[in-house]
Amino acid sequence: MGLNRESITVKKLSLEYHEFSRTKKTPWGSIDGFKALDSISFDIEEGETIALLGRNGAGKSTLLKALGGLLRPSEGEITTYGRVILLAGVDPGFLPDLSGRQNIQELSKAYGIKENEIDDFSKSIEDFAGLGEAFDRRFGGYSTGMRGKLGFGFITALNPSILLIDETLGVGDIEFRKKAQARLKEFIRNSGTVIISTHSLGLAKELCERGLLLNNGKLVSDGEINDVIEQYSSMIK
């Protein structure tokens, strides 16, 4: 890979949400702000796989959405190098009136798959999802499980420079989940830079060498994964 270079740079990132509330003192209501992220800074080198840890409400999803370009910072700046994909669910934008195959072929163009690679890309997803003849049926008629399999297959067939994962995915039956977990691990290993938000400390230890720990919107720890897990574990006891 040559000399290490930064893949993500975050400088004094803050993000404030605004909520409408009504009390006896403010019968007409008022808009109150709270910081979901509070002056966060870190650098991530190309090729790192990092676990993002923290209790529910710590700011993990907000941080990933900001890194993925879905939320605009209130303060500070984010710089990313390369193609960023946020995996936060299993629907990359399927249209109900198209078949599974048509959705894959149309969406692959939007996600940057080259024209001469689309057929092979589509075939790999068809084989993985295992939908049989339903692959050519209208997507709107799919069950939730079928939609999850197709979406998971599509997303994990991509090749991002930066991969952001918001929690692990549980789609399909038990047999498919085992298959999906193996594919997800391979997907992570083949991606350039990875940040995975997870409550599974076992998965974090297995896949990551570094951890970021958030608490109440602040970055409270950034270091070797075992040290960060130990700090997180003491926090949730």
End-to-end CA distance of the chain: 41
Indicate if the pLDDT at residue 166 is higher than 70.
yes
Residue 203 and residue 194 in contact, taking contact as beta carbons nearer than 8 Å: no
The chain-wide mean pLDDT, for the chain, equals 87
* 224-228: average pLDDT: 96
Contacts of 217 (CB under 8 A, 6+ apart): 35, 36, 37, 38, 40, 58, 59, 62
Residue 173: strand, helix, or coil: coil
Indicate if the pLDDT at residue 1 is higher than 60.
no
pLDDT of residue 54: 94
pLDDT of residue 118: 94
Indicate if the pLDDT at residue 31 is higher than 70.
no
Between 170 and 217, name the one with better pLDDT: 217
28: phi then psi, degrees, rounded to nearest 5 = -85, -5
Burial track 188-199 (b if 16+ CB lie within 10 A, e otherwise): beebbbbbbbbe
* 83-97: average pLDDT: 83
pLDDT of residue 3: 47
d(C-alpha 237, C-alpha 232), whole Å? 9
Burial track 1-40 (b if 16+ CB lie within 10 A, e otherwise): eeeeeebbebeebbbeeeeeeeeeeeeeeeeeeebbbbeb
Contacts of 83 (CB under 8 A, 6+ apart): 112, 160, 161, 162
- Among residues of the chain, what percentage have pLDDT more than 90? 54
CA angle 57, 62, 63 (to 5 degrees): 115
CA angle 128, 133, 136 (to 5 degrees): 90
pLDDT of residue 22: 67
pLDDT of residue 180: 77
* 211-234: average pLDDT: 95
Residue 220: strand, helix, or coil: strand
Radius of gyration of the chain (CA): 20
In this predicted structure, which of 125-129, 131-135, 178-182, 225-229 has the lowest mean pLDDT?
A: 178-182
pTM: 0.77
- Among residues of the chain, what percentage have pLDDT more than 70? 87
| All domains of the chain in start order, with CATH | 6-83+195-236 (3.40.50.300), 92-159 (no CATH)
Residue 107 and residue 93 in contact, taking contact as beta carbons nearer than 8 Å: yes
pLDDT of residue 136: 96
Indicate if the pLDDT at residue 2 is higher than 50.
no
Indicate if the pLDDT at residue 134 is higher than 70.
yes
98: phi then psi, degrees, rounded to nearest 5 = -95, 155
pLDDT of residue 202: 87
Residue 40 and residue 218 in contact, taking contact as beta carbons nearer than 8 Å: yes
